[in-house]
Structure 1
Amino acid sequence: MGLQSSQASPGNMKFVIIAALAAVAFAAPDRPYNTYGSGSSEEAEILQHDFDLQDDGSYKLDVKTSNGILVSEQGRPEGPDGAVVTSGVFSYTAPDGTPVEVKFVADAGGFQPDSDLLPVAPEFPHPIPQFVLDQIAKAAEEDRNRSPERRYSYA
């Protein structure tokens, strides 16, 4: 059971965001994080954590850690029914040393990441071979030459 748009107000929005942040903080494990499963027990320190929440429900978040993770994100309630539209970027170094940067937008269209490291679908429409085009033309010509009563009959 979700909030109806008539119930959403900047005060409710603040409460929801603060409650979500508190839940994440309390859910954090008591053990230190290992660095990418490398067996290192080095803990990453938070070097910067700036969170600015405005009365209208918009926010800006910037986080930087000692192991090179960077997050910059902003959002505002301008989606359908006051949904928060978010955009930003996060970056880190993969275990193999590859620098990773992902830009994103999260709106009514869902989460839309953009990165050179993400797979890309083949370009469409792809070229159609000539023999296929010839067959399509032949079928169209045969349809034109049929008598009207048999034109759409497949019996």
Structure 2
Amino acid sequence: MCKIMLLISFVITALLATVQGNADSTITRYTSQVNIDGSYSFDIAQSNGAEHREDGVGGQYAQGYFRHYSPEGKFVQIIYAADENGYQPQSDVLPTPPPVPAHIQRAIEYIRAHPTPEELADQQVRARQL
């Protein structure tokens, strides 16, 4: 029962966060389902085009997306999953790291190709453990 209350509280929090994004926007779609086994889903849409949809099992995993228009008028969408590997968002608007410089990549390849005596000993120990 505690998990269900936690899920309901999460859905309400998500709804309020979505609604607060634009005071002139109204909710045009809202569905929510919380099941006894801990699975849940919700789907929220607003008149300004914002949407948030998610389904999952409380404490185990979740997947979904949220989308809206930025103040600059750009369409923003983030698709995500959350599980034992953490939160994994995917979107064109998320920052990405710069490419690894060629000289650094060469150094990494050299280090991999020329392990130290300690690394070789460690590899031998690990091979015997299998």
Task: Name the TM-score, length of structure 2 as normaliser.
Answer: 0.66
- Report the counterpart of residue 4 of structure 2 in structure 1: 14
Alpha-carbon deviation of 1:110?
2.3
Distance 1:34 1:64, change over 3 A: closer
Paired with 2:88 and 2:97, the residues of 1 have a C-alpha distance of 15
Alpha-carbon deviation of 1:68?
0.9
- Structure label with greater radius of gyration: 1
Normalized per residue, which structure has more strand? 2
The match for 1:70 among 41, 51, 58 is 51
The match for 1:98 among 68, 71, 74 is 74
Paired with 2:3 and 2:78, the residues of 1 have a C-alpha distance of 27
Normalized per residue, which structure has more helix? 2
- Report the counterpart of residue 108 of structure 1 in structure 2: 84
Alpha-carbon deviation of 1:66?
0.7
Task: Name the TM-score, length of structure 1 as normaliser.
Answer: 0.56
Amino acid at match of 2:80: F
Amino acid at match of 2:54: E
The match for 2:63 among 67, 87, 91 is 87
Alpha-carbon deviation of 1:101?
0.5
- Report the counterpart of residue 118 of structure 1 in structure 2: 94
Paired with 1:114 and 1:49, the residues of 2 have a C-alpha distance of 24
SS at match of 1:16: helix
- Report the counterpart of residue 152 of structure 1 in structure 2: none
Paired with 2:90 and 2:43, the residues of 1 have a C-alpha distance of 19
Name the % identity.
26
CA contact (8 A) 2:80 2:89 kept: yes
Amino acid at match of 1:72: R
Amino acid at match of 1:17: L
Amino acid at match of 2:102: P
Amino acid at match of 1:55: I
CA contact (8 A) 1:33 1:43 kept: no
Paired residues, number: 106
Unaligned runs of 5+ residues in structure 2 are 115-130
The match for 2:102 among 105, 127, 131 is 127
